[in-house]
Structure 1
Amino acid sequence: MLLTVGVVLAGCSAPEPVTPAVTGDYTELSLPDGTQLIPPSGTTPAAPQAPSTCGALASLRPGPSVPTGGAPPGRLVADILARDRLIVGVDQNTNLFSFRDPNTDTLEGFDVDVAREVARDLLGDAAKVEFRLLTPGGRFDALEKNQVDIIAQTITITCQRAERVAFSTVYFEAYQRVLVANGSGISGPADLAGKRVCAAADTTSLATIQRVQPQATIVAVPDWADCLMVLQQRQADAVSTDDAILAGLAAQDPTLQIVGPPLETEPYGIGINKTNTALVRSVNGTLERMRTDGTWMRLYDRWLTALGPVTGPPAPTYRD
């Protein structure tokens, strides 16, 4: 998941949103608004550069949110302290990580709770958070324009993305796999040739699908919840993205299962404006505390046991 959809589509014109004619066994129901059908590439793209080789996984060492000795905090940190709330970019369609609870109409999930821990350390109160809903395609623009302070949205750290925004240390590691209906006959990427595979637009899952199975048609939808719908309506044969996201989809439908080997490692980081190094250090301080005081494991046990047992959080890597 190491390239954006813009890179995937380089060299050819971007497909227009369409409602395709009915072919094969696909239903006559309309696809979600904004859906794009990306035809098979026919050739296998080169593997992207691993983030471990370009230094993207190494972040800044934890530091105090307000420096000692009378020095003023960094610009964005000062803004956060002045407004007395942390503005966090999330989505509401990623079950287990960031979703809207229909019973309480509140945002819940692993990423939501991680953001609250950042607010707890920075502002002294985990409730001092303002969540703003972002699409995958708009999240980095919002960060660069300082419309949000941080993004906690299952973001895979890549070399290309690290040129654009800063990342925290890795706080979760996922693996891209495949989700299908029981009895589909699909057991791995080889079986996706000639099939439709759903992925969210403007995510790096698209490039991985094209690399591991260039004979697949990609159904690119606005949100991951749309992939669940098109799979249930037989408008796609499979969904492929991080197992963490797939587990959230499968939890909503017992007729679905995750199959096949890991296709790509997906190290998640919290996105931060590249100029705000003080905030990067503050966020890394929170993540370090969560690793050592048991908070990370408590959140994993609350939200992510569907992924199976883990020994603990990913170890941090620092560059200074």
Structure 2
Amino acid sequence: MNKRLVLGTLLLTAVLAGCATGDGGLPDVRVGAGAPLPVGAQDPAPSASAAPGAAQNCDPRASLRPPASLPAANGMPSGGTLAAIQARGKLIAGVDQNSYRFGFRDPLTGELSGFDIDIAKQVAKAIFGDENKIQYKTVTSATRIDAVRNGEVDLVVETMTMNCERWQQVSFSSEYFTAGQRVLVHRGSGITGMDGLAGKKVCAAAGSTSIRNIAAHAARPVPVAVAGWTDCLVMLQQGQVEAVSTDDSILAGLAAQDPNTEVVGDAFTVEPYGIAIRKENADLVRFVNGVLENVRTDGTWTRLYRTWLTALSTDTPTPPPAKYQD
């Protein structure tokens, strides 16, 4: 979908929200299944989206242990990944721009904002002493692993679930957030979860664990794949799909953009988020884990949660504990 169209959709949603009726709803503007599909949409998604067999002997939450103490900012050890990043003068981070509250482009400022963006800033701050020494490269669920493996980015912070299959391709930091897959539908639809979507079209991003979980669900819904999560929201609004299904953290952001929608059902998966890094760059993995240790213990994680994610829970949770394989 054209970026300007996405931004226009978000702005229109915000304007309509200001004109909402007393019950908090918006006018029903669904235009029907005859509307054009978002660019790159696959309806239905290829059958290959079903999850492959997972690698054996893998704990996807277990990362590399950080050093006892981090080097001072601008004092990265010579000869490794960190020294190369310092010499370049900026950290290159792959992020999303379509996940409200995690990684999105603020329509008022044009800047990338959200929980994941601020986590990436913490890494840049630890390397340079300046969180703004960072270059963002927007990636999608389908392109982010290649971006890491090809060296286009130093790391990816993009609501990315760690699993054994992905560990074969990239390394991950320790877990920094825990989500679970649920369902987003129109209010009043009568749908209460995935079991009510047998034979119905359900949208998720191509390359995500979500699209695979939809394809593998016992209810046999019809998975529809798109490039980004706002494309799923537009397809739901236009009546082209019956539901969107992905992590509850992402769905909460979509629901906030359209009060005519709601998140339903219990979580039917557990999705531990990690920062993806090239397998060859173990020094960067360990350094990032040291940064995350500080984020957990110095109050930064709690501050960021309260800034971006209070809609997910009335109580601020504790950050997920780190787990190491060595």
TM-score bin, normalised by smaller chain: 0.7 to 0.9
> Could you list the per-position Cα deviations for residues 86-118 of structure 1 after superposition, in whole angstroms to 9, with x for gaps in the alignment?
100012111100000011110000000000011
Alignment match of 1:54 (pick from 47, 51, 58): 58
Alignment match of 2:201 (pick from 192, 196, 201): 196
Task: Give, as a single letter, the amino acid of the residue that structure 2 aligns with 1:145.
Answer: N
Alignment match of 1:87 (pick from 86, 92, 113): 92
Q: Which residue of 1 aligns with 2:166?
A: 161
- 1:98 is the counterpart of 2:103: yes
8 Å contact from structure 1 (residues 176, 243) kept in 2: yes
Instruction: State the Cα distance separating 1:211 from its structure 2 match.
Output: 2.0
Distance 1:54 1:135 in 2: 25
Distance 1:110 1:280 in 2: 20
Task: Give, as a single letter, the amino acid of the residue that structure 2 aligns with 1:110.
Answer: F
Gaps of 5+ in 1: 1-24
Instruction: State the Cα distance separating 1:75 from its structure 2 match.
Output: 2.7
Structure 1 window deviating more from structure 2 (208-217 vs 78-87): it is 208-217
Q: Which residue of 2 aligns with 1:317?
A: 323
TM-score of the two chains, using structure 1 as the length reference: 0.85
> Could you list the per-position Cα deviations for residues 146-188 of structure 1 after superposition, in whole angstroms to 9, with x for gaps in the alignment?
1110100010001000011010000000000000010111101
Q: Which residue of 1 aligns with 2:5?
A: none
Partner secondary structure for residue 131 of structure 2:
coil
Q: Which residue of 2 aligns with 1:180?
A: 185
1:166-315 to 2 correspondence within 5 Å?
166-308=171-313, 309-315=315-321
Distance 2:227 2:46 in 1: 20
Q: Which residue of 2 aligns with 1:35?
A: 41
Partner secondary structure for residue 62 of structure 2:
coil
Task: Give, as a single letter, the amino acid of the residue that structure 1 aligns with 2:109.
Answer: T
Partner secondary structure for residue 205 of structure 1:
helix
8 Å contact from structure 2 (residues 45, 225) kept in 1: no
1:109-120 to 2 correspondence within 5 Å?
109-120=114-125
8 Å contact from structure 2 (residues 195, 219) kept in 1: no
Task: Give, as a single letter, the amino acid of the residue that structure 1 aligns with 2:65.
Answer: R
8 Å contact from structure 1 (residues 65, 77) kept in 2: no
Gaps of 5+ in 2: 1-30
> Could you list the per-position Cα deviations for residues 184-205 of structure 1 after superposition, in whole angstroms to 9, with x for gaps in the alignment?
1110111000211011111111
Q: Are the structure 2 counterparts of residues 199 and 74 from structure 1 closer, same or farther at C-alpha, using a change threshold of 3 Å? A: farther
Percent identity among equivalent residues?
50
Distance 1:123 1:259 in 2: 43
RMSD: 2.2
TM-score of the two chains, using structure 2 as the length reference: 0.84
Distance 1:65 1:276 in 2: 16
Partner secondary structure for residue 239 of structure 1:
strand
Instruction: State the Cα distance separating 1:215 from its structure 2 match.
Output: 2.5
Distance 1:49 1:161 in 2: 9
Q: Are the structure 2 counterparts of residues 186 and 40 from structure 1 closer, same or farther at C-alpha, using a change threshold of 3 Å? A: farther
8 Å contact from structure 1 (residues 195, 236) kept in 2: yes
Instruction: State the Cα distance separating 1:49 from its structure 2 match.
Output: 4.3
8 Å contact from structure 2 (residues 200, 242) kept in 1: yes
Instruction: State the Cα distance separating 1:56 from its structure 2 match.
Output: 2.3
